[in-house]
């Protein structure tokens, strides 16, 4: 049973602090939990998420690794199969491509291939998506890649409160969880209660109620969506905003219920448009709520090209408030396609 949260004891902390608290609390609660990755120990984490954890838990439970993602991901999978609960930090999910064989062919498939004899309770966490002018090889969005794989759960929080509650749940989960963060959000602040709490994986959050159009997104694109909703309100358009939080399993019903109320949907997804999260959502809504739609589902994605380096091109590549506003007005028939 989830402990009761004292809502009066709230603090404003950074995303990195919320993630750190989640790991610390779970490591104090369960001695089988440990953290492993590049620079997580002596350097206190590349983004200072694990600051102070080496001092508290020691080098056997906060482990620095070589630059060898395939190797330490494999060690984590083996440890999870033998009763431990590893947290494997990728400095960026771009580097997880080196380890993808262990994530997809070992962690995701082991329970099925072993006939239920070996579970893999492991969390792979780190930042995904663009973090500014880092070029094409360090700016990719991987939620849709991993969400396609049966056996993996995929989580992508947009704020400190959700990040802590979801990470604690992910660490306790019996299945491998891909926990996608954002380099650009580690310093973001938000209210987080002092008491322990868990947020279930697979449940979206309606961040804002509305009646005219549904906006769906996740991770840092939620900032774009919420700002768009604020500006739309000034123009007399009421937008309902849904934060997916969990990509797989996807809370399909919350989206459908919203579309049946607003009759319009715009999905904002930083990833490339082809075979994206937005593609899956658009298909499901047009399959299950077609008669409720007053306009086609529209998507606002990253550009279908490798991420450029120059800042003006990065800004042109990414979804923006202006692009989302235009899509909303198109489904409202206030602007031409």
Shared fold status for 11-193 and 205-331: yes
| Whole-number pLDDT of residue 334 | 81
Q: Domain map of the chain by residue range?
A: 11-193, 205-331
Span 11-193: which CATH code?
A: 3.40.50.970
Structure confidence at residue 287 (pLDDT)? 96
Question: For residues 21 and 160, is the Cβ–Cβ distance under 8 A?
Answer: no
Residue 162 has what pLDDT? 98
Q: 0.85 exceeded by the pTM?
A: yes
Q: What is the pLDDT of residues 228-259, one digit of tens each?
A: 999 999 999 999 999 999 999 999 999 999 99
pLDDT mean over 90-107 = 97
Q: Is the pLDDT of residue 225 over 70?
A: yes
The full DSSP string for 20-53 is HHHHHHHHHH-TTEEEEETTSSTT--TTSTTTTH
Q: Decide if pLDDT at 3 tops 90.
A: no
Give me the mean pLDDT over the 271-277 stretch: 96
Residue in 108, 132, 134, 104 with CA at minimum distance from that of residue 121:
108
Whether residue 233 lies in the annotated active site: no
Q: What is the pLDDT of residue 1?
A: 39
pLDDT at 8: 57
What gap in Å lies between CA 283 and CA 108, rounded to an integer? Answer: 25
Residue of 12, 16, 19 lying closest to 191 (CA atoms): 12
What rounded mean pLDDT belongs to the chain? 96
| Structure confidence by residue, pLDDT tens digits, 140-188 | 999 999 999 999 999 999 999 999 999 999 999 999 999 999 999 999 9
Reported as a single tens digit per residue, the pLDDT across 312-326 is 999 999 999 999 999
| Catalytic annotation present for 8 | no
Find the mean pLDDT for residues 123-134.
Answer: 95
Burial class of residue 312 (count of CB atoms within 10 Å of its CB; 0-12, 13-18, 19+): exposed
- DSSP classification of residue 170: H
For the cut 50, the answer to whether the pLDDT of residue 48 exceeds it is yes
The answer to whether the beta carbons of residues 37 and 65 sit under 8 Å apart is yes
Catalytic residue (choose from 17, 69, 181, 240)? 69
pLDDT band at 5 (very low <50, low <70, confident <90, very high): low
**Active-site residue, selected from the candidate residues 26, 138, 240, 280:** 138
Question: Does the structure show a pLDDT above 70 at 295?
Answer: yes
The yes/no answer on whether domain 205-331 falls in CATH 3.40.50.920 is yes
Q: Distance (Å, rounded) from C-alpha 218 to C-alpha 159?
A: 10
């Amino acid at each position: 049973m989830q402990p009761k949260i004292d809502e009066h004891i709230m603090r404003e902390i950074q995303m990195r602090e919320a993630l750190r608290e989640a790991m610390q609390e779970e490591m104090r609660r369960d001695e089988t939990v440990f953290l492993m990755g590049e620079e997580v120990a002596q350097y206190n984490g590349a983004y200072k998420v694990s600051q102070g954890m080496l001092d508290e838990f020691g080098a056997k439970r906060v482990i620095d690794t070589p630059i060898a993602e395939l190797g330490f991901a494999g060690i984590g999978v083996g440890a999870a199969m033998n009763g431990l609960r590893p947290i494997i930090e990728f400095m960026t999910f771009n580097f997880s491509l080196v380890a993808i064989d262990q994530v997809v062919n070992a962690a995701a498939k082991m329970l099925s291939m072993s006939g239920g004899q070996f579970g893999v309770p492991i969390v792979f966490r780190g930042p995904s998506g663009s973090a500014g002018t880092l070029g094409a090889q360090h700016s990719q969005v991987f939620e849709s890649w991993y969400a396609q794989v049966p056996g993996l759960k995929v989580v992508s929080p947009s704020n400190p409160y959700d990040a802590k509650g979801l990470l604690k749940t992910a660490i306790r989960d019996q299945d491998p969880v891909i926990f996608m963060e954002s380099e650009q959000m580690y310093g973001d602040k938000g209210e987080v209660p002092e008491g322990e709490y868990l947020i279930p994986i697979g449940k979206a959050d309606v961040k804002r109620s509305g009646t005219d159009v549904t906006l769906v997104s996740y991770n840092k694109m939620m900032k774009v969506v919420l700002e768009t909703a604020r500006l739309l309100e000034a123009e007399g358009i009421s937008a309902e905003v849904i934060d997916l939080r969990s990509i797989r399993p996807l809370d399909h019903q919350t989206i459908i219920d919203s579309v049946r109320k607003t009759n319009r949907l715009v999905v904002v997804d930083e990833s490339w448009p082809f075979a994206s999260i937005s593609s899956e959502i658009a298909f499901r809504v047009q399959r299950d709520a077609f008669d409720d739609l007053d306009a086609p589902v529209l998507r606002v994605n990253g550009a279908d090209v490798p991420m450029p380096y120059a800042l003006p091109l990065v800004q042109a590549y990414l979804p923006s408030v202006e692009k989302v506003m235009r899509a909303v007005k198109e489904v409202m028939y206030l602007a031409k396609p």
